[in-house]
């Protein structure tokens, strides 16, 4: 240890290397005309920036998204229409602090023609001005904030995933139809997505004649023990519980709900992310009979999904998730749009995306863009055991609904 | 990044050269490199304001990002709802940062050492929580987005090069303020507090008041840096004033060499380079590389970047700080040897 001698020259060399790395990408000027044209032209190639979380709490979603993307390209010769696709992946990280610079690099340094991905809603909203001014299309493949395609909409931002209130609203409508007399207790993580999910559910449920027995918002990312909340649910006299949790919070909530003895008396409902993907395995038996609404389940019995799920299983040895499907569909719509427009230009592409009509071959079932976000069917799903694993089987499905519908 | 340094005459030369280089940067850098450099300036100013607290006065704050974030939200909100005219939002940001620092600092500076650390951490968390929950003003966890581009003479500054110059100008002013404070007799007294507070008190210095004042000054400049963040990124989220930001700023200061303003700026540049430019390309290993780099730098350069020059130079003007053992404060630090 003490033998290490480091001279000033070494250190300066180190810093110099860092500077050189920055300088490598540094040619040209930032003053004057800064529009740069990538792709397109004679060669008919398109460069896509895939911004997905590769580190941090959302990393598992990033893996699924990458796999969905890769699978689509592999099964379509790596082409969108006549365009050969080059994918540049970047790590979105957990927050806009990493997500925005990563996207900026893809746009300004890599000269990507199109952007796909984005899990964090704040990142998606924060990119609005960047992509709008660059006139590049961004297909949001997960982030669910209402504002992305409402108050904060941009003609260049399209969404292949969902809106938070849309997912829970479907459950609200369904529960009100099933049993409007029973009151429901609602609980969600205390942050923007949780608020939107609760609002979506409550509005739809009350519209159908349902009554809310009570509401709780445990602090987001800080709650380990849900017992105080579970006691409140028990004493509220509610006949059912609706919840919105994701990731590790979904695991602890579902497990504690079962351990507390509520699962048998007061059935648990939720937004589909509660029991989607890796969290379901972690919840295990505790999740049995939990019902959720989502625009996809791997158990969907359609030819398109069966083919997709089989291919996914064969290639990645995993059950596909909604996150994989959303990115698969992002590729799907870009393919269709490029066939229609024949040009990777942001304005042309945006226009073509708007004229796509129904996407009839998606694993999730038919859907279409309405206000640049999917109008799609929702499935009421129930967790059941299948062999060694768990699966969300379909109990019912809704008519296609759009955001806020 | 090393403008406003002052070791005569070579230091002056370096300073002028660095300032010229920085000013000319957008002429030969591609847009993305310019954007990165802009971000480095913003974070550099935050780190430099923290260096005034940590290195000069000996107040290791873990909540300094709170004032940065308050400034950013204030500037963003002001630009969005009232006016996006050129220097206005920055003035609002600096004022907001200063005010919040004034409101919270009175409690904080009464504590010392680890208690100060924990108190500032708590203040940071409270402000973070407020940003996260005060939806109508801050946009909650979705952040404050859609901040308009700063207007200058009726035109929005949308070109990255022009934006860079705007940020550079504000950065220069902010750094100059910090440098003047550190160089003044008041700054010397702060360094005295750093070295031996009871003695300074015995000599008749109102040390609590002095510490409070420097806390507010640092908060004001951090607020200005926050305003620059809102100007450049046009998005402010609760993460910008969270613990991670505060910790990264502190690391930038330590990398730079705790007492050195320009060292802190270089440290900040390194942090941004690794986090934003190299990080996203590393297939998810960005945070790991960042961590390793910090360990390496701290281990190999106990006096930080600022320490390298001093160790080798052996310049008499460097006074009593030629030693290499102690990681922290260099009386010489701010702007180099001539500072006292």
pLDDT class of A342 with cuts at 50, 70, 90: confident
pLDDT on residue A37: 45
Closest CA to B269 of B55, B50, B64, B47: B47
Q: Does B155 touch chain A (CB under 8 A)?
A: no
Indicate the number of domains in chain A.
2
Contact A11 B300 (CB under 8 A): yes
- Best of B30, B73, B142, B289 to disrupt the A interface (most A CBs within 10 Å) is B142
In this structure, which CATH number among 1.25.40, 1.10.3470, 1.10.3210, 2.60.120 belongs to the domain B17-339? 1.10.3470
Contact A97 B244 (CB under 8 A): yes
3-state DSSP call for residue B47?
helix
For residue A314, what are the contacts with CB-CB under 8 A and spacing of at least 6?
A: none
Claim to verify: residue A249 and residue A384 sit in the same structural domain:
yes
Q: Chain A residues with CB inside 8 Å of B39's CB?
A: 101
With a cut of 50, which residues of chain B have pLDDT below it?
1-7, 312-340
pLDDT top residue among A11 and B199: B199
Q: Does B32 touch chain A (CB under 8 A)?
A: yes
DSSP A321: -
Q: What are φ and ψ of residue A373, in 5° steps?
A: -135, 155
Claim to verify: residue A148 and residue A196 sit in the same structural domain:
no
Nearest CA in chain A to B143: A122
Q: Is B337 exposed, middle or buried (0-12, 13-18, 19+ CB in 10 A)?
A: buried
User: What size, in residues, is chain B?
Assistant: 340
Claim to verify: residue A207 and residue A123 sit in the same structural domain:
no
Contact B280 A98 (CB under 8 A): yes
pLDDT on residue B175: 92
Per-residue buried b or exposed e for B189-224, using 16+ beta carbons within 10 Å of the residue's own CB:
bbbbbbeebeebeeeebebeebbbbbbbbbbbbbbb
Q: Chain A residues with CB inside 8 Å of B282's CB?
A: 91
Question: From the CA of A51, how many Å to the nearest CA of chain B?
Answer: 9
Question: From the CA of B303, how many Å to the nearest CA of chain A?
Answer: 13
Contact A122 B237 (CB under 8 A): yes
Contact B278 A21 (CB under 8 A): yes
Whether A144 and A162 have beta carbons less than 8 Å apart is answered as yes
Residue A183, in any domain of the structure:
yes
Claim to verify: residue A175 and residue A282 sit in the same structural domain:
yes
Whether B178 and B49 have beta carbons less than 8 Å apart is answered as yes
pLDDT on residue B294: 79
pLDDT on residue B309: 58
Claim to verify: residue A124 and residue A179 sit in the same structural domain:
no
Tokens of A393: 């089987």
Residue A181, in any domain of the structure:
yes
Residue A402, in any domain of the structure:
no
Q: Pinpoint the alpha helices (H) of A116-246.
A: 121-126, 128-134, 164-179, 192-207, 227-236
Claim to verify: residue A247 and residue A367 sit in the same structural domain:
no
Q: What are φ and ψ of residue A159, in 5° steps?
A: -130, 130
Q: Give B105-160 as a DSSP string.
A: HHHHTTS-HHHHHHHHHHHHHHHHHHHHH-HHHH-GGG-EE-PPPPEETTEE--SH
Claim to verify: residue A130 and residue A229 sit in the same structural domain:
no
Closest CA to B232 of B26, B12, B16, B43: B43
Claim to verify: residue A89 and residue A188 sit in the same structural domain:
no
Whether A100 and B233 have beta carbons less than 8 Å apart is answered as yes
The whole-angstrom separation of Cα A192 and Cα A199 is: 11
**How big is the CA angle at A141 (ends A224 and A34), to the nearest 5 degrees?**
120
- Give the pairing type, strands A157-159 and A137-140: parallel
Q: Pinpoint the alpha helices (H) of A25-111.
A: 59-75, 96-108
Choose the closest CB to B26 out of A30, A102, A152. A30
Contact A95 B29 (CB under 8 A): no
- Percent with pLDDT over 70 in chain A: 89
Average predicted confidence (pLDDT) for chain A? 86
Residue A17, in any domain of the structure:
no
pLDDT of A15 higher than 90:
no
- Best of A31, A111, A128 to disrupt the B interface (most B CBs within 10 Å) is A31
Q: What is the pLDDT of residues B36-95, one digit of tens each?
A: 899 999 999 999 999 999 888 888 899 999 999 999 999 999 998 888 888 889 999 999
Question: From the CA of A7, how many Å to the nearest CA of chain B?
Answer: 9
pLDDT top residue among B284 and A388: A388
Claim to verify: residue A108 and residue A218 sit in the same structural domain:
no
Contact B142 A62 (CB under 8 A): no
Q: What are φ and ψ of residue A294, in 5° steps?
A: -160, 165
Nearest CA in chain A to B140: A192
pTM of structure: 0.79
Q: Chain A residues with CB inside 8 Å of B32's CB?
A: 25, 104-105, 108-109
pLDDT of A133 higher than 60:
yes
Cα–Cα distances in angstroms (integers) from residue A120 to residues B3, B198, B199, in the given order:
37, 49, 52
- Mean pLDDT, range A118-125, rounded to an integer: 90
Nearest CA in chain A to B308: A8
Among B residues 247-276, those touching chain A with beta carbons less than 8 Å apart = 270, 273, 275-276
Handedness of CA A212, A213, A215, A216 (dihedral sign): negative
Choose the closest CB to B235 out of A23, A54, A96. A96
Please count the residue pairs, one from chain A and one from chain B, whose beta carbons lie less than 8 angstroms apart: 179
Closest CA to B336 of B308, B301, B297: B308
Q: Which domain holds residue A250?
A: 165-294+378-397
Cα–Cα distances in angstroms (integers) from residue A23 to residues A100, A133, B33, in the given order:
21, 25, 7
Choose the closest CB to B300 out of A6, A109, A133. A6
Q: Chain B residues with CB inside 8 Å of A121's CB?
A: 141-142
Residue A24, in any domain of the structure:
no
Report CA A286 to chain centroid distance, whole Å. Answer: 25
**How big is the CA angle at B81 (ends B239 and A105), to the nearest 5 degrees?**
45
Claim to verify: residue A150 and residue A247 sit in the same structural domain:
no
Residue A254, in any domain of the structure:
yes
- Mean pLDDT, range A113-142, rounded to an integer: 92
Contact B284 A91 (CB under 8 A): yes
pLDDT on residue A187: 95
For residue A242, what are the contacts with CB-CB under 8 A and spacing of at least 6?
A: A168, A171, A172, A175, A184, A185, A186, A187, A201, A205, A269, A270
Claim to verify: residue A387 and residue A340 sit in the same structural domain:
no
Cα–Cα distances in angstroms (integers) from residue A394 to residues A181, A272, A278, A383, B193, in the given order:
24, 12, 19, 9, 69
Q: Give B165-204 as a DSSP string.
A: HHHHHHHHHHHHHHHHHHHSHHHHHHHHHHH-HHHHHHTT
Q: Does B279 touch chain A (CB under 8 A)?
A: yes
**How big is the CA angle at B305 (ends B304 and B307), to the nearest 5 degrees?**
70
Contact A192 B312 (CB under 8 A): no
Nearest CA in chain A to B27: A29
Cis preceding-peptide flag for B140 (omega within 30 of 0)? no
Question: From the CA of A81, how many Å to the nearest CA of chain B?
Answer: 28
- Domains of chain B: which residue ranges? 17-339
3-state DSSP call for residue A143?
coil
Q: Does B33 touch chain A (CB under 8 A)?
A: yes
Claim to verify: residue A53 and residue A117 sit in the same structural domain:
yes
Q: What is the pLDDT of residues A27-86, one digit of tens each?
A: 566 665 444 444 444 568 999 999 999 888 888 899 999 999 999 999 999 999 889 999
Closest CA to A121 of A53, A181, A65: A53
pLDDT of A360 higher than 50:
yes
Whether B248 and B95 have beta carbons less than 8 Å apart is answered as no
Whether B90 and B228 have beta carbons less than 8 Å apart is answered as yes
Residue A341, in any domain of the structure:
yes
**Domain of residue A238, CATH code:** 3.40.50.2300
Q: What is the pLDDT of residues A155-201, one digit of tens each?
A: 999 999 999 999 999 999 999 988 767 899 999 988 888 999 999 99
3-state DSSP call for residue A296?
coil
- Best of B145, B168, B232, B297 to disrupt the A interface (most A CBs within 10 Å) is B145
Residue A3, in any domain of the structure:
no
Closest CA to A374 of A350, A348, A343, A405: A405
pLDDT of A232 higher than 50:
yes
pLDDT of A337 higher than 70:
yes
């Amino acid at each position: 240890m003490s033998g290490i001698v480091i001279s000033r020259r070494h250190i300066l060399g180190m810093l110099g290397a860092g500077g050189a790395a920055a300088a490598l990408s540094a040619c040209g000027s930032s003053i004057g005309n800064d529009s740069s044209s990538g792709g397109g032209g004679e060669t008919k190639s398109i460069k896509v920036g895939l911004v997905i979380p590769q580190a941090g709490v959302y990393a598992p979603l990033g893996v699924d998204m990458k796999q969905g993307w890769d699978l689509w390209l592999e099964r379509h010769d790596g082409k969108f229409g006549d365009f050969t696709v080059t994918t540049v992946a970047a790590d979105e990280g957990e927050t806009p602090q990493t997500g925005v610079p990563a996207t900026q690099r893809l746009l300004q340094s890599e000269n990507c023609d199109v952007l796909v991905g984005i899990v964090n809603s704040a990142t998606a909203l924060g990119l609005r001005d960047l992509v709008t001014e660059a006139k590049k299309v961004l297909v949001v493949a997960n982030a669910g904030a209402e504002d992305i395609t409402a108050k904060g909409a941009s003609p260049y931002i399209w969404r292949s995933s969902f809106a938070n209130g849309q997912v829970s609203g479907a459950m609200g409508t369904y529960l009100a139809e099933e049993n409007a007399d029973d009151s429901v207790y609602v609980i969600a993580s205390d942050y923007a997505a949780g608020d939107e999910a609760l609002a979506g559910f409550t509005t739809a449920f009350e519209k159908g004649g349902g009554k809310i027995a009570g509401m709780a918002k445990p602090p987001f990312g800080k709650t380990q023990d849900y017992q105080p909340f579970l006691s409140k649910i028990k004493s509220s006299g509610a006949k059912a519980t609706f919840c919105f949790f994701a990731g590790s919070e979904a695991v602890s909530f579902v497990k504690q709900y079962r351990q507390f003895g509520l699962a048998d008396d007061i059935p648990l409902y939720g937004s589909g992310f509660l029991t989607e993907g890796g969290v379901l395995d972690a919840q295990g038996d505790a999740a049995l009979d939990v019902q959720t609404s989502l625009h996809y389940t791997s158990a969907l019995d359609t030819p398109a999904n069966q083919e997709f799920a089989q291919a996914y299983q064969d290639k990645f040895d995993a059950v596909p998730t909604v996150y994989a499907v959303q990115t698969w569909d992002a590729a799907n719509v870009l393919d269709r749009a490029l066939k229609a427009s024949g040009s990777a230009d942001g304005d042309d592409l945006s226009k073509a995306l708007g004229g796509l009509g129904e996407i009839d071959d998606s694993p999730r079932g038919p859907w279409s863009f309405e206000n640049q976000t999917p109008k799609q069917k929702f499935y009421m799903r129930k967790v059941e055991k299948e062999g060694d694993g768990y699966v969300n089987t379909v109990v019912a499905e809704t008519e296609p609904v759009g955001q806020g519908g | 990044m090393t403008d406003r340094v002052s070791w005569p005459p070579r230091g002056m030369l370096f300073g002028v050269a660095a300032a010229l280089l920085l000013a000319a940067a957008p002429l030969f850098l591609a847009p993305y490199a310019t954007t990165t450099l802009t971000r480095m300036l913003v974070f550099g100013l935050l780190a430099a304001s923290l260096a005034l607290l940590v290195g000069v006065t000996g107040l290791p704050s873990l909540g300094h990002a709170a004032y940065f974030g308050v400034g950013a939200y204030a500037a963003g909100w002001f630009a969005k709802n009232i006016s996006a005219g050129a220097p206005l939002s920055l003035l609002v940001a600096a004022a907001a940062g200063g005010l919040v620092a004034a409101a919270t600092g009175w409690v904080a500076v009464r504590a010392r050492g680890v208690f100060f650390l924990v108190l500032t951490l708590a203040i940071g968390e409270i402000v973070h929580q407020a940003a996260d929950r005060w939806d109508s003003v801050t946009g909650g966890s979705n952040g404050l987005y859609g901040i308009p581009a700063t207007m200058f003479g009726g035109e929005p500054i949308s070109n990255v090069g022009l934006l860079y110059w705007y940020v550079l100008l504000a950065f220069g002013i902010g750094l100059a303020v910090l440098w003047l404070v550190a160089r003044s007799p008041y700054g010397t007294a702060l360094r005295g507090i750093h070295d031996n507070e009871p003695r300074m008190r015995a000599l008749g210095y109102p040390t609590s008041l002095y510490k409070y004042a420097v806390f507010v000054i640092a908060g004001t400049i951090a607020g200005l840096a926050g305003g620059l963040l809102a100007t450049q990124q046009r998005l402010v989220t609760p993460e910008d004033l969270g613990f991670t930001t505060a910790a990264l700023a502190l690391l930038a200061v330590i990398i730079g060499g705790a007492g050195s303003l320009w060292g802190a700026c270089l440290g900040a540049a390194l942090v941004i380079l690794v986090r934003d430019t190299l990080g996203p390309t590393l297939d998810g290993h960005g945070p790991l590389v960042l961590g390793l780099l910090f360990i390496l730098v701290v281990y190999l350069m106990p006096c930080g970047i600022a320490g390298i020059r001093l160790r080798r130079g052996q310049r008499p003007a460097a006074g009593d700080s030629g030693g290499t053992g102690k990681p922290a404060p260099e009386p010489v630090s701010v702007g180099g040897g001539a500072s006292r």
